[in-house]
Amino acid sequence: MSEQSWVAVDEFVTRLVVGEDEALRAAVSESARAGLPQIAVSPPQGKLLHLLARVHGARRILELGTLGGYSTIWLARALPAEGRLVTLELKPQFAEIARANLERAGVAALVEQRVGPALDSLRALREEGGAPFDLVFIDADKAKTPEYFSEALELTRARGLVIVDNVVRDGELARRNTDDAGARGMRRLHKLLAAGGPWSATTIQTVGVKGYDGFTLVLLD
Ligand code: SAH
Ligand code: DHB
Ligand code: MG
């Protein structure tokens, strides 16, 4: 098994079953053209997020880390017509590119973008006391993931689903002395999950065009 075959399989799967349309492809190409880092979820991963949101019947979704809106589009397209997705992004320039991509994909009316540090936006959401979210996708500053998770818990309904991206990080997750700050964040997340709480969780390793990484899924009680 090689990284070359991971890429070939992702391309095969994307071509045959993922159903990436022109607006999703444009979100990737326009984000690259604007100089955004090319770190969005892969097409098969985006479709996985979409399918999980549909299986879960999500009507309100919270996303941390918009980038150019690629995962946002996949998640928003799982919503019913009256659904809502709130997406948090630190960088105004990224949020602006994402806006155009969301409009092109026909989901802009369902999506509320908030710009600034995610922890500030999460606290503001808590103070506003809106309806709880059904699904949370955490994909922002990896080192802060445990804090994001704790805040997200306060904003999520019973039986809500929390999905965390980039938890395995080339296997650094299992290295006690890793110097990868993101991996240290993901190790802390796992310790927090292990400490127990009203949830049931697992972590799934993935390979593909984004290399070797993985997702954590947490279903709240
Ligand atoms: N979810 C996107 C990828 C997100 S990449 C997709 O798969 O398509 C991570 C994003 O988190 C970047 O856009 C980065 O600017 C943003 N980010 C980093 N630190 C942040 C913070 N403190 N608050 C909010 N967003 C942050
Ligand atoms: C990075 C961030 C991501 O969300 C991702 O999926 C891959 C890489 C990063 O910050 O390098
Ligand atoms: Mg990610």
Q: Say yes or no to pLDDT of 2 above 80.
A: no
SS3 167: coil
Angstrom distance (rounded) from CA 18 to CA 10: 10
Say if ligand 2 is within 6 A of residue 165 CB: yes
Q: Say yes or no to pLDDT of 215 above 90.
A: yes
For the CA of 139, the nearest atom of ligand 2 = 4
Q: How many A from CA of 63 to the centre of ligand 1? A: 9
Q: Give ligand 1 pocket residues (Cβ under 6 A).
A: 39-41, 65-67, 70-71, 88-91, 94, 117-118, 139-141
Angstrom distance (rounded) from CA 168 to CA 30: 28
pLDDT computed for residue 158 by the predictor: 98
pLDDT tens digits, one per residue of 151-197: 999 999 999 999 999 999 999 999 999 999 999 999 999 999 999 99
Residues ≥6 apart with Cβ < 8 Å to 175: 183
Residues ≥6 apart with Cβ < 8 Å to 24: 43, 46, 70, 73, 74, 105
Please indicate, yes or no, whether the overall pTM of this predicted structure exceeds 0.95. yes
pLDDT tens digits, one per residue of 65-109: 999 999 999 999 999 999 999 999 999 999 999 999 999 999 999
Contact by Cβ (8 Å): 158, 199: no
Residue of the nearest CA to atom 7 in ligand 2? 39
